[in-house]
Each structure stands twice: as structure tokens, then as C-alpha cells.
Chains A and B, each alone.
Chain A
Amino acid sequence: MSLLDTHIGFVEALRSAGLSVSLAEGLDAISALEKVTWHDRETVRAAYAATLVKRQPQRVTFDAVFDIYYPRLIGGGVAGEEAEPASDGPPDTGPELARFREALAEALAAGDQQALQDLAVEAVARFGAMPGRGPGLSSWSAYTSLQRVSPAELMDRLVQGLLASGLDDERAQRTAGRRIGDFTRLVEGDARRRIAEEKGPEHVVDVTVRPTIDRLDFTAARRSDLEEMRREIYPLARRLAARLTKEQHAQRRGPLDVRRTVRASIATGGVPLTTHHRPRRPHRTDLVVLCDVSGSVANFAQFTLMLVYALREAFSGVRAFTFVDDVVEVSDTFRPGADVVEVMESLSASISQAALWGRTNYGRALTRFAEEHADAIGPRSSLLVLGDGRSNYSDLALPVLADLAGRARHSWWLNPEHPRHWGTGDSAADQYGQVVPMVECRNLAQLGEFVHQIA
């Protein structure tokens, strides 16, 4: 492949991964590359990043694609080829594994990035090879090598080492966890590189590149993703608040103020050259949020509540209720300026109160809500139900929901599932959707759009 082909393939891959790279930006990248030296891979990466990536959340995707198209080394690298004949017999043996883990433990304890990178390459080369598989199947596996090496087992030893070097317990744990996580990522990255070498980069990009954090499904998020999402809530709320005030200012002109207009017209001989307007009275919604906090959708409900409360200035009042099969009010949890982590903790504590038998029962929860908190919904309030509508085939209490929706000014149902799953299995999304408009809300971007629309 020539250099230009690689460049074109790289840009194409970025586009297919969701970055909008225009032709002009591609040309910019080429002229940028003409101005820099090529002896350092990071220089090339930075030049590409400056010209092609215009949104920080896309940087992760960019880095993953870059590593595939401009790999750090080919095959085992020069050092690998020299080293290999030295060890006789199969590379993956017990003593070899013990020796390798020893080296890994030392590198982890020292936090030596270069050594860890080399060890990751070696880990895939030695323990991740799956020779003799059929055509079309890749012969390298990050999973196999991580299973064999199992860096997580080195955790205790690493923590001990860090404790000895003077860190306190909690920080030692965290540092150790981070280093092992980094090593795992290095191994995964190296396996991707090997597979890309074998099967062509296009294939790997399609399979392995994950969507950016604001496009990632709530239901598909891993633990680390959830933490990252949580960090995104406040910036997202700030952006939304900025947009809201700006839009309110834009439509500030209210109805004509006749008195002031006539008064001003005296100065111009009775001709009303400039008109004066009354300020528009901002409309604020009274929001009642009813959210399913059972295991399957708990994350989604938490994020939505957090976002609504971070934006509480945009609403005149917010009351929140959580349910599994019983209803409990959680409005008090959200004091102004409350701490994110504490709110999350007390929310999870409320889940146990919201569950009587622990099986989601929308019908029962809605009935209980109508009985106990009927006063929450008035003609000025908007009802927001959060949940996937999976009610374990129980009674749906559709008339109760219809009554609640009828009393409220507006009502919506946010569903974290893809519309193609609505109404499958025990999902009552279609039935509920006929009573209350059902909105798809699978990721932070969609959530932000929706909250902006109702605020």
C-alpha cells in the first residue's frame, strides 16, 4: 500500500466510524504532514489530530483508528525476530509464562510505560497466538493472552509493593488498578494491530471501534463507561443551560407595549419610529418524573434524574418518584448543589424501598402512585415516565396511566430501548405508547436533546 492509499483508507475509516472528515480537511492533513518530520509516530498522530478531529469526544475513536492504520510495529518487530530463536521449543510453556509474569510484575511495580508496551507485544505474540484456525478467523486473541497471563492476579503483589513505597492504602489500590487496566488496554490494542495486519485494517475498524461516549447506549455501557458518563452530566447540563438562556433571550420580544411606544413617538412628531415591547414572561414547566429503577434500566433513570436536577433552574419545580413495584418519592435527595456521588448512593438505597417483591410491576406502581401521590399532578405539570415498559406480563393499569396523562399538561414516556425491541417479549411499550407518546432515548445525546426540548 502506498502512503497515499493508507491516507485515503484512514480518512475513509474515520468517516465510517462517525467522524465527519471533509475533503478540505483531508487536504489540510496532507499539507500538515508535508511540514513535519516523519521520524516520530506521535508527531504524525498529532498532525492528523489537529487537522481532522474537531470534537474532543471523537478523539478516542480517532486514536483507535490511527493505531490500526499506522501501527507501532509490524509483526513481532525487529527486536522480536532477534529474540525469538533464543528460546527453543514452543514459546508458550510453563517456565516461559512464569518468567513473563515476573517481568510483568516488575514493570507494573515500576510503572515503566515502555517496558509495559513491549511486554504487551510479547504477551500477544507468545500467549495470544491461535495458529491453524480456518481462513477468515483471526489467529490472534487478546482474550486468550489475558487469560493466560491474568494480570489481575498480580494486583495484590502490586498493591503490597506500592504500600511499601509509602502510598496509603486507598491510593495504592487505585494506582494498581489503573496500571493493570492500562496494561489490559495495551494488550487489546496490540491484538487489534496483529489482526489488522492479517485481515486488513478496514475489517478491524468495523468490528472494534466503539461509539463515542455521548452516542453509547445506556444499556450497553460498561462500568468504566458509566463513570465517564457521570462526568459528562454536568458539562452537558451547562451546555443545555447556556443554550436555553440564549434561546430565551432571542425570543425576548413580547407583545407590543402601547403606552411606551406612544410616549416614544412624541419625540418623532407622533410617528412611532421605534416600537417598544413588554418583556416576555418565561414559561417554566412543573415536572413530575416517575422512574423505573429496576436493574435493567437503573442507569438510564439515574442519568435522566441527574440531568433534570442539574437543570432545575429551567423548571419551576421538579418532583421525582422511583418505583420497581412500589412507589417512593426521592425529591429530597436532590438538594441544590448536592454532591453527585452522594445522590447516586442515596438513589440506589431508595431502590430497596421501591421494591416490595422485587419484580418490576408497572401496573401496581402506577396504581400506587395514583393513590398516594395524586396531588403531584396538576394542570400545570408535565409527567415524565422513564422505563422500558417491561412489566413481567402483569396487569398494565392502562386506564390509570390514561387518567394521569389526562390530568397533566403534557406527558412523555422515555424508553431506553431501540424501537425495534418495543413490544417484544414482556415489553408493553406499544400499549403504553398508545396512551402516552413514547420517545426513544438511548444515549446522552438523545437525552440532552429531549430535556432541552421540554425545558
Chain B
Amino acid sequence: MATRLATVTTWFDSADDATARLRAAGYLTDDATALTAYLAGALEKPLLVEGPAGVGKTELAKAVARAAGAELVRLQCYEGLDEARALYEWNYKKQLLRIQASGGGDSWSETHDDIFTEEFLLTRPLLSAIRRDEPTVLLIDEVDKTDVEVEGLLLEVLSDFQVTIPELGTISAICRPFVVLTSNASRELSEAVKRRCLFLHLDYPDAEREKAIVTSQVPGLDDKVAAQLVDVVVRLRELELQKAPSIAESVDWARTLIALQIGDLDEATVARTLGVVLKHASDQQRAIKELQLPR
């Protein structure tokens, strides 16, 4: 296999550049997020994004891909994810066919050399991200859902951007991907993984930015309604709820209001559409009580 020189991609020129280009890609960042995204590109380190559900962790990876014109390769993690579904697998059915087709005329070593080649390799997200020779964003989503063994698997990929396949040797990244790992912190990740990553905690945005996000995501939303909506959401977050509403829920709410053609978010409307933002019965009762909404 001919070795190609590693090409260097510049993801962002500076933090300001990151802000501007992510904004152009439809993702409004704050300063810390933009700076960390810029650093992740500049230092070529994976970026571990943590935060409550629905604050735009996955969206950040997508926005980076859009902003840099790169392709997104996504590995969705779940319990029981293993090497065969994360890294690579040998296509043993095809190998079997190959052996049968050769009719047993070849010696063992010839057959062996034959069936462990690229032709019989099924690449999975981690390997395909590394082998791509164009800019790639690798999104490893909900990494806290995996078993601890998978983290071990990630270590080689995250620190050296290479994968070792015993039969083929080590495959190094031609063009280092921009790696984003997201986590809901349902489990503490191992120190080894954290050490290799830059860390970013995404939290609920301040009222001003949230309003900007909602208006940019939901075109056609009245400015006054957007302000009212964000105001209510901020107040809801101050209550002690089992699940505080996130940005995704604000956006859903805005879409609901558009669909219902509501031009003014008064208390009765809030009470009627509360189910869009609060998904627990006890949370809804609490909100009705604290915000003094009509039942």
C-alpha cells in the first residue's frame, strides 16, 4: 500500500473565525465553545462535550462538519457495542465463498494471504473515519452508554489516530479527523479517555442567546412571542424539576406555537402547551403551581 503524506487540514483560523463560521452553519456559540472548538482543531485533539440532554452537543459536531465542508462519520454508542461494529469486521461469508470457489487447489498460505485483504474487510465508523483522505468529522455519540471495554478500544484511535489490524498491520490516519465525543455524564468516563480529550461543558444558554437560537431555528416566529417563550423557559429552569427544559424543547415549543398560529403567549396558552416542554407529570404540576397558571 502506497503511503501518502499526511495532509494537514486547518479547521478554524481562530476563535473568532470559529464563531463566525459556526454561525454561518446555523450554530450560535458562546465564546468558550468557539474557543474550544478552535483549539480542538488546532491541537488535533478529540473534543469531549458533556451536558444535559438537548443543549446541542450532537449539533455542534454537525455544525463543525458543515462549517468546514467535511463529511460527518457517526458512531452511535449503545450498551453491547463491540469491536466488530465500531472498528472493522472480516466479511467471513465472502471469505468462505472465496475458499470454496478456489476449489481447494491453493496451499494454505496462499489462501490465507488471499482472504485477509482489503477486499474482505468491512470497515465500521472508526476505521472509515481514519481511512478517509478528505476532511472528516468523527462523531462518537453518547460515549457514556458503552461498556468500559469499548473505551479501551477508543484509546488507540483517539491518541494516535491509528487502528491496528493483526492481519494487515497498522493503519494510520491520512488526514486527521476532527473527533467529537458526546456524553450525558450518566457514567464517569475513564481517566485515560478524558486525559486525551479537550473538555467542554455545554449548559443552558443565557436568555439572549437562547432567543437568538430559537428565532434562527424557527423562522417566522414573532419577536415578541420569542421573548415571552424564552422568559418562561428561563423561569422553568429555575424551578426544581426532574427534567429542566432544554434548547431542543424551546425550539419544539416555538414550532408548536407556529403550528397553532398563536400570536401571544399568555398564561392560558402556556398552561395548554406545557406538555411540549415538560415531560413529567409532577414537573407540570409544579410549574402550574409556581407560575400560577390557570388549570
Contacts and interface: CB of A to CB of B under 8 A. Distances in A.
A235 B242 CA distance: 9
A53 B201 CA distance: 10
B43 A28 contact: yes
Contacts of B32: 42, 46, 49-50
Given A32-B43, A337-B280, A47 B35 contact: yes
Interface in A8-37: 20, 22, 24-25, 28, 31-32, 35-37
Interface in A171-198: 171, 174
A239 interface: yes
B129 interface: no
B286 A50 contact: no
Contacts of A338: 282
Contacts of A20: 191
Given A35-B42, A43-B15, A239-B185, A246 B201 contact: no
A36 B198 contact: no
A220 interface: no
B285 interface: yes
A174 to B, nearest CB: 8
Contacts of A24: 195
A338 B241 CA distance: 11
A22 B45 CA distance: 16
Nearest to A20: B191
Contacts of A42: 31-32
B31 A46 contact: yes
A25 B39 CA distance: 14
Contact of A337 (B38, B43, B281): B281
B261 interface: no
B194 interface: yes
Which 8 A-B residue pairings sit nearest by Cβ, starting from the closest? A54-B194, A46-B32, A242-B186, A50-B36, A50-B198, A35-B42, A339-B282, A56-B201
A98 to B, nearest CB: 34
A210 interface: no
B187 A31 contact: no
Interface residues of A, number: 39
B200 interface: yes
Contacts of B201: 56, 59
Nearest to B45: A28
A55 B201 CA distance: 9
B116 interface: no
A54 B187 contact: no
Interface in B106-128: none
B198 A51 contact: yes
Given A20-B191, A50-B198, A339-B286, A246 B242 contact: no
B141 interface: no
15 contacts: A24-B195, A32-B43, A32-B198, A35-B43, A43-B35, A46-B32, A50-B32, A50-B39, A50-B199, A51-B39, A56-B185, A171-B235, A174-B238, A339-B286, A340-B242
Contact of A339 (B197, B235, B238, B285): B285
A174 B31 CA distance: 28
Contact of A249 (B79, B186, B235, B281): B79
A238 B187 CA distance: 9
A53 B185 CA distance: 14
A46 B36 contact: yes
Contacts of B191: 20
B48 interface: yes
Contacts of A46: 31-32, 35-36
Given A171-B235, A340-B242, 11 more contacts: A22-B195, A28-B43, A37-B14, A42-B31, A50-B200, A55-B188, A174-B238, A235-B185, A242-B187, A246-B187, A249-B79
A243 B199 contact: no
Contacts of A230: 240
A231 interface: yes
Interface of A: 20, 22, 24-25, 28, 31-32, 35-37, 42-43, 46-47, 49-51, 53-56, 59, 171, 174, 230-231, 234-235, 238-239, 242-243, 246, 249, 337-341
Nearest to A344: B240
B17 to A, nearest CB: 12
Contact of A47 (B39, B185, B195, B240): B39
B50 interface: yes
A42 B194 CA distance: 23
B114 to A, nearest CB: 28
A342 B48 CA distance: 37
B187 A36 contact: no
Nearest to A245: B79
A364 to B, nearest CB: 35
A272 B240 CA distance: 56
B15 A31 contact: no
A236 to B, nearest CB: 11
A211 B79 CA distance: 33
Contacts of A174: 238
A10 B14 CA distance: 25
A448 to B, nearest CB: 11
A243 B235 CA distance: 32
Contacts of A337: 242, 280-282
Nearest to B32: A46
A22 B197 CA distance: 13
Interface string B189-205: 00100110111110000
A56 B280 CA distance: 26
Q: Name which of B48, B147, B240 has the most chain A CB atoms within 10 A of its CB.
A: B240
B44 to A, nearest CB: 10
Contacts of A56: 50, 185, 201
Contacts of B79: 246, 249
Contact of B39 (A22, A36, A235, A249): A36
B57 to A, nearest CB: 13
Nearest to A53: B199
